Structure 1
Amino acid sequence: MGRRREGKVIRKKDGGGTTTSLMLRLLMLLCIVSSMALVLQLNITNQHNLMLSEEPRAWAAQPAGPTCRPRRHLVFLKTHKCGSSTLQSVFLRYAAANNLSVALPHAGVYLDAPATGHSLRVKELRESPFAPPSGKYHMLVHHTRLNVRAIQQVTYNDSVWVTVLREPAAVFESMFHYYHLNKFFGATFDHLVWKLGANDGGKALFKNANSRYQGRLGRNQMSFDLGLDDLDTHMESVLRDAIRILDDTFHLVMIAERMDESLVLLKHLMCWGDEDVAAMAHNVRKDLYRSYLSEQTVATLERFNAADVKLYHHFKAK
């Protein structure tokens, strides 16, 4: 009798162990399948443009207040004519005050080159006599077209990613005068706007409408700076996916028209002090050199830079 009861107990234990083992195996299989599905989804989402992010940044928010620690790793994607020189001066000042390394161009103001498809010159940065021993820079804040993979090779995984956008019509007007694009487009600013207002959108009325000055400057400039190819900006689905990827890539997208508020957000994000984000405007033109932008002019330029308009309003609304 005792032996039979002992045998029953043993059989019950064996059955429970088998059930537990089976459940663990099923859970492991479910995790593997879920992980594979997530990777496949990320690959499908990002296959349109390799310049953009293929994975979220390796970064986690930290509590605000006295418990947070100042962040020292930063990627600032410097966009053209968006108040980015003002922000760059803030970052360079912080780097100098805290003995941080900054990725510097070999020559000029650009970290990339049209000959390399505007990809970051990783080899030059790593072999620079000023490169840190690790090959990783604390900050990257100079002009370069967004190429996440390349930037990750010379920056830290926990870097905070920041950029700035501006009202698209104002960007185009400022860029036109600053870079003297009248010769490139074959028209003065007012004449160009008038041509763009034609029924065909001005495409047949002036040269270089869809080309880029020095392979770098032109239509939908902010979208181009942020890694979108010109053909991508005309494809609604690709543009929508790209904006979603950019939303995951950057921790903060500042808005030039809301610079004060943006600096406050930057301060809290970086856990810096008020003096660290104090800014003085740089590269600001006098009113004498500005073109008046009527509502009709703004509407015309927004049609011409439609991708930038969608990009700008997406992040402005956040």
Structure 2
Amino acid sequence: MRWLWRHRVMGLLAVLVILLLLTLLATHSLHNINRTHEQRPTADRRNQRRAAEKHTHTHTNTQHPPKPTHAPQHTQHPPKHTQTDRRAHPPVVFLKTHRTGSSSVQNILFRLGERESATFAFPSRTYQFNYPHRFRASSVDELPEGSSQFDLLCSHMRLDLRQVRKVMPQNTVFITLLRDPIKTFESVFRYHTYTVPAFLSAQRAASNTGKPALSVFLDSPETFWNPTEPWNGLAKNPMSFDMGLNNQKWNSSWPEDLAQLEEAFHLVMIAEHFDESLILLGSLLGLDHEDLAYLQLNARASSSKTELTENIQAKLRSWNVLDTLLYDFFVQVFWEKAAQFGMERLKAETARLRESTESIRRKCVSRAAVPPGELEDLLRPWQTETVTVVGYEVKGNLSLQDQGFCVRMMLPELQYHSHLYFRQYGRDMRAAPAEL
């Protein structure tokens, strides 16, 4: 009897062990299936990417970082959009040029990328890709676990097309934004007075003259400008510098360089035709009017702008003659693309975008042009020593979903950048090396 009892107990234990092993194997297999489903695009998503790629080809003819913000106060997405009903968009590189209105475009892409759980190509340190040096693939942080490619690159850099193409997929859409060179340089000078050595020298020279520092600089710019100093890149033809061109003087390579940029960029938006530019961007990426709604971000208070007399404007144009050439060239290209889109269609779509954007602004914004001292930390833009950057106050009595949407529309660049980086990597951004 003892032998029989022992035999039954052993048999029962063996059965239990086998059942346990089978259960563990089944659970492991299910986990792998779920993980594969989450990490790899479905067949539909792959097909959508191919369709987006085909659609794309048809259109081709050292700041001190604020305290990191891990998440906006309201994390709900707007009710209209979900990750399951949105089609995949092609990867995008946005060359974020200085003081052209590019923060507003970047915010549109940040919102799009967050909503679709896109993988951002972020700088491995701080908020810029080793600026003012040329972009290098090695300056991009690692590809996150579970991602097969980078989907969006839209942080400040000085362009190097070959290096960017090492990071981004072949079907990437390249876009950027240019602005009237006179307005751009005035804004660059005021905003970056203390970070560009030539500007700082002019500021010191102007301290006892009673004249604006910009006027003193333009009286004899060569006196202050040392072209061998990397941070002086913004001190002459800043848009050409950001675009990776020779910004010091005209040379024989300029026509070929312009042709290469025209071929590489699917869309060069023009700040003076911002809404029309967004319509062309929406057509290129498959975005609707709500996706394209925007607020003017990183804007200066009126007291932080220098009045531009005709004399100053003439000097600005002369000093930035290459930026004028660049701007005029791409304005012509822009209107050619607008004509391909259809001028009447563009006019009608622009009117609808403005109506939609104004409706969203009324819903979201309690106060505009709010001084930084009256803003909470989350919505306070970064301030420089020489300008006051104003922001927005969000309306109260909104639903959580609407609050989340509205806060993201007015979220300053550095806070949004920090939030998305933490969301992607689960850690704070690394600080810039001390020697930079």
The reply on whether 1:142 has 2:155 as its aligned counterpart is: yes
Relative to structure 1, is the Cα distance of residues 262 and 70 closer, same or farther in structure 2, using a 3 angstrom cutoff? farther
Report the secondary structure of 2:189's partner residue.
helix
Deviation per residue, 1:90-139 (Å, 9 max, x gap): 0000000111111112232212345xx4222x2353635x36643x3100
- Return the letter of the residue paired with 1:301: L
Distance in 1 (CA, whole Å) between partners of 2:88 and 2:310 is 43
Out of 195, 200, 204, the residue aligned to residue 183 of structure 1 is: 200
Distance in 2 (CA, whole Å) between partners of 1:240 and 1:305 is 17
Residues 179-188 or 213-222, more deviating: 179-188
What displacement does 1:299 show? 1.4
Residue number in structure 2 paired with 1:169? 182
Residues 179-188 or 158-167, more deviating: 179-188
Deviation per residue, 1:208-232 (Å, 9 max, x gap): 264556354221100010011334x
Instruction: Report percent identity of matched pairs.
Output: 31
The reply on whether 1:119 has 2:147 as its aligned counterpart is: no
Aligned residues of 2:134 and 2:244 also touching (Cα < 8 A): no
Distance in 1 (CA, whole Å) between partners of 2:177 and 2:253 is 21
For structure 1, the residue ranges without an aligned partner over 5 or more in a row are 1-56, 63-68
What displacement does 1:193 show? 2.9
Residue number in structure 2 paired with 1:299? 314
Distance in 2 (CA, whole Å) between partners of 1:239 and 1:124 is 27
Out of 207, 213, 216, the residue aligned to residue 224 of structure 2 is: 207
Aligned residues of 2:135 and 2:164 also touching (Cα < 8 A): no
Distance in 2 (CA, whole Å) between partners of 1:247 and 1:103 is 23
Aligned residues of 1:169 and 1:298 also touching (Cα < 8 A): yes
Report the secondary structure of 1:269's partner residue.
helix
Deviation per residue, 1:76-97 (Å, 9 max, x gap): 0010111011100000000001
Residue number in structure 2 paired with 1:272? 287
Residue number in structure 1 paired with 2:428? none
Relative to structure 1, is the Cα distance of residues 131 and 255 closer, same or farther in structure 2, using a 3 angstrom cutoff? farther
Relative to structure 1, is the Cα distance of residues 212 and 310 closer, same or farther in structure 2, using a 3 angstrom cutoff? farther
Residue number in structure 1 paired with 2:7? none
- Return the letter of the residue paired with 1:208: W
Residue number in structure 2 paired with 1:89? 107
Report the secondary structure of 2:174's partner residue.
strand
Distance in 2 (CA, whole Å) between partners of 1:178 and 1:132 is 39
What displacement does 1:294 show? 1.9
Residue number in structure 2 paired with 1:230? 247
Report the secondary structure of 1:104's partner residue.
coil
Deviation per residue, 1:194-252 (Å, 9 max, x gap): 5635xxxx255x32264556354221100010011334x322x3222211211111010
What displacement does 1:175 show? 1.0
Distance in 2 (CA, whole Å) between partners of 1:163 and 1:187 is 35
The reply on whether 1:71 has 2:89 as its aligned counterpart is: yes
Out of 58, 62, 66, the residue aligned to residue 61 of structure 1 is: 58
Out of 323, 330, 353, the residue aligned to residue 308 of structure 1 is: 323
Aligned residues of 1:255 and 1:316 also touching (Cα < 8 A): yes
- Return the letter of the residue paired with 2:241: F
- Return the letter of the residue paired with 1:296: N
Residue number in structure 2 paired with 1:154? 167
Aligned residues of 1:209 and 1:219 also touching (Cα < 8 A): no
Distance in 2 (CA, whole Å) between partners of 1:211 and 1:257 is 32
Relative to structure 1, is the Cα distance of residues 127 and 97 closer, same or farther in structure 2, using a 3 angstrom cutoff? closer
What displacement does 1:293 show? 1.2
Aligned residues of 1:125 and 1:131 also touching (Cα < 8 A): no
Aligned residues of 1:228 and 1:242 also touching (Cα < 8 A): yes
Residues 242-251 or 88-97, more deviating: 242-251
The reply on whether 1:108 has 2:126 as its aligned counterpart is: yes
- Return the letter of the residue paired with 2:267: L
Distance in 2 (CA, whole Å) between partners of 1:155 and 1:299 is 40
Deviation per residue, 1:140-165 (Å, 9 max, x gap): 00011111111111111111110000
Distance in 2 (CA, whole Å) between partners of 1:316 and 1:212 is 31
Count of residues in Structure 1 that have an aligned counterpart in Structure 2: 244
- TM (norm. structure 1) is 0.70
Aligned residues of 2:182 and 2:317 also touching (Cα < 8 A): yes
Distance in 1 (CA, whole Å) between partners of 2:225 and 2:58 is 44
- Return the letter of the residue paired with 2:305: R
